[in-house]
Amino acid sequence: MSSRYTDIYQQWQDDPDTHWTNAARDITWFRPPERIFDADQGVYGRWFVGGLCNICYNCVDRHIAAGRGQDPAIIFDSAMTGISQVFSFDAVLQEVTAIAAVMRNLGIEKGDRVVIYMPMVPEAVFSMLACARLGAIHSVVFGGFAAQELASRLDSAGAKLVVTASCGLEPGRVVAYKPLLDGAIELARTKPANCLILQREQLSADLDPDRGEHDFAELAAVQRAAKTRVDCVPMASTDPLYILYTSGTTGKPKGVVRDTGGHMVALHWSMRNIYGLQAGDISWTASDIGWVVGHSYIVYGPLLAGVVTVLFEGKPVGTPDAGTFWRVVERYGVNVLFTAPTAIRAIRRDDPNGRLAGGRNLSSLRTLFLAGERADPETLHWAATLLGIPVIDNWWQTETGWPIAANPMGLGPLPVKPGSPTVPMPGFTVAVLDDSGHRTSPDALGNLAIRLPLPPGCLTTYWEADDLFHEACLSEFPGYYKTADAGRIDEDGYVFVMARTDDIINCAGHRLSTGALEEVCACHPDVAECAVVGVADPIKGQVPCGFLVLKSGTMRGGPDVCQDVIDLVRQRIGAVAAFRKVVIVAKLPKTRSGKILRATIQKIADRQSWSMPATIEDPATLQAVAVALREDVYVSKKQ
pLDDT at 249 over 70: no
What are 198-217's pLDDT values in tens digits? 999 999 999 999 999 999 99
Rg (CA), the chain: 24
CB atoms within 10 A of CB 464: 12
pLDDT at 525 over 60: yes
Strand partners, 581: 545, 635
pLDDT for res 591: 84
pLDDT for res 421: 96
Question: Global pTM?
Answer: 0.88
Closest by CA to 492, choosing from 560, 424, 565, is 424
What are 343-367's pLDDT values in tens digits? 998 999 999 999 999 989 999 999 9
pLDDT for res 639: 58
Instruction: Give the least confident one: 91-105, 340-354, 510-524.
Output: 510-524
pLDDT for res 470: 96
Which is it for strands 541-550 and 581-584: parallel, antiparallel or unpaired?
parallel
pLDDT at 637 over 80: no
Dihedral sign, Cα of residue 270, residue 276, residue 277, residue 278: positive
Strand partners, 256: 244, 462
pLDDT at 226 over 70: yes
pLDDT: which is higher, 76 or 554: 76
Dihedral sign, Cα of residue 311, residue 26, residue 273, residue 18: negative
Q: 5-314 with 504-635: one CATH topology?
A: no
Please, where are the H alpha helices in 239-323? 261-273, 292-294, 301-304
Q: Given strand 308-313, what is the order of strands in its sheet? A: 84-88, 72-78, 308-313, 282-285, 336-339, 367-370, 391-393
SS3 267: helix
pLDDT at 250 over 50: no
| Domain ranges within the chain, ordered by starting residue | 5-314, 504-635
Between the CA of residue 359 and those of 29, 151, 354, 363, 425, what are the distances in Å? 47, 47, 10, 12, 37
Q: Is 45 exposed, middle or buried (0-12, 13-18, 19+ CB in 10 A)?
A: middle
Categorize the per-residue pLDDT at 508 as very low, low, confident or very high, splitting at 50, 70 and 90.
Answer: low
What are 46-94's pLDDT values in tens digits? 999 999 999 999 999 999 999 999 999 999 999 999 999 999 999 999 9
pLDDT for res 246: 84
Closest by CA to 561, choosing from 574, 547, 572, 571, is 547
pLDDT for res 35: 98
Instruction: Give the least confident one: 461-470, 489-498, 612-621.
Output: 612-621
Yes or no: say if 284 and 310 are a contact pair by the CB < 8 Å rule. Answer: yes
Residue 23 identity:
A
Q: In sequence order, what E strands does 60-128 have?
A: 72-78, 84-88, 113-117
Q: Is 69 exposed, middle or buried (0-12, 13-18, 19+ CB in 10 A)?
A: middle
Instruction: Give the least confident one: 41-50, 130-139, 182-191, 587-596.
Output: 587-596
Alpha-carbon dihedral angle through residues 262, 267, 269, 270, given to the nearest 10 degrees:
140
Residue 518 identity:
E
What are 366-395's pLDDT values in tens digits? 999 999 878 888 999 999 999 999 999 999
Angle at the Cα of 591 from the Cα atoms of 537 and 535, rounded to 5 degrees: 0
pLDDT at 251 over 60: no
- High-pLDDT (> 70) share of the chain, %: 98
The class level of CATH for 5-314 reads: alpha beta
Average pLDDT over residues 101-128: 98
H or E element: which one contains 498? strand 495-500
Phi/psi region, residue 584 (left: phi>0; alpha: psi -120 to 50; beta: rest), is beta
CA distance 112 to 132: 11
Between the CA of residue 521 and those of 18, 69, 94, 505, what are the distances in Å? 46, 51, 51, 16
Cis peptide before 453 (omega within 30 of 0): yes
Mean pLDDT of the chain: 94
Angle at the Cα of 235 from the Cα atoms of 232 and 241, rounded to 5 degrees: 95
Yes or no: say if 168 and 116 are a contact pair by the CB < 8 Å rule. Answer: no
What are 575-626's pLDDT values in tens digits? 778 899 999 999 999 987 778 899 899 999 999 998 888 778 889 999 999 9
Yes or no: say if 532 and 604 are a contact pair by the CB < 8 Å rule. Answer: no
H or E element: which one contains 55? helix 55-56
SS3 341: helix
Average pLDDT over residues 244-267: 84
Closest by CA to 579, choosing from 554, 548, 622, is 548
- High-pLDDT (> 90) share of the chain, %: 82
Categorize the per-residue pLDDT at 100 as very low, low, confident or very high, splitting at 50, 70 and 90.
Answer: very high
Yes or no: say if 230 and 134 are a contact pair by the CB < 8 Å rule. Answer: yes
Q: Is 355 exposed, middle or buried (0-12, 13-18, 19+ CB in 10 A)?
A: exposed
pLDDT for res 349: 92
pLDDT for res 509: 62
Between the CA of residue 292 and those of 87, 272, 369, 584, 618, what are the distances in Å? 23, 19, 15, 32, 21
CA distance 215 to 206: 10
H or E element: which one contains 240? strand 240-245
Yes or no: say if 446 and 433 are a contact pair by the CB < 8 Å rule. Answer: yes
Average pLDDT over residues 182-192: 96
CA distance 476 to 584: 38
CA distance 459 to 462: 8
Average pLDDT over residues 428-439: 95
Instruction: Give the least confident one: 156-160, 221-225, 272-276, 443-447.
Output: 443-447
What are 292-325's pLDDT values in tens digits? 999 999 999 999 999 999 999 999 999 999 999 9
CA distance 528 to 526: 7
DSSP assignment of 182-234: HHHHHH-SS--SEEEEE-BTTB-----GGGTEEEHHHHHHHHHHHT---PPPP
Average pLDDT over residues 38-44: 97
**What CATH superfamily is the domain 504-635?**
ANL, C-terminal domain (3.30.300.30)
pLDDT for res 247: 55
Which is it for strands 495-500 and 480-489: parallel, antiparallel or unpaired?
antiparallel
CA distance 576 to 512: 9
Categorize the per-residue pLDDT at 540 as very low, low, confident or very high, splitting at 50, 70 and 90.
Answer: confident
Average pLDDT over residues 493-509: 82
Average pLDDT over residues 396-410: 97
DSSP assignment of 383-440: HHHHH-S-EEE-B--TTTSS-SEE--GGG-PPPP-TT--BEEPTT--EEEE-TTSPBP
Yes or no: say if 134 and 234 are a contact pair by the CB < 8 Å rule. Answer: no
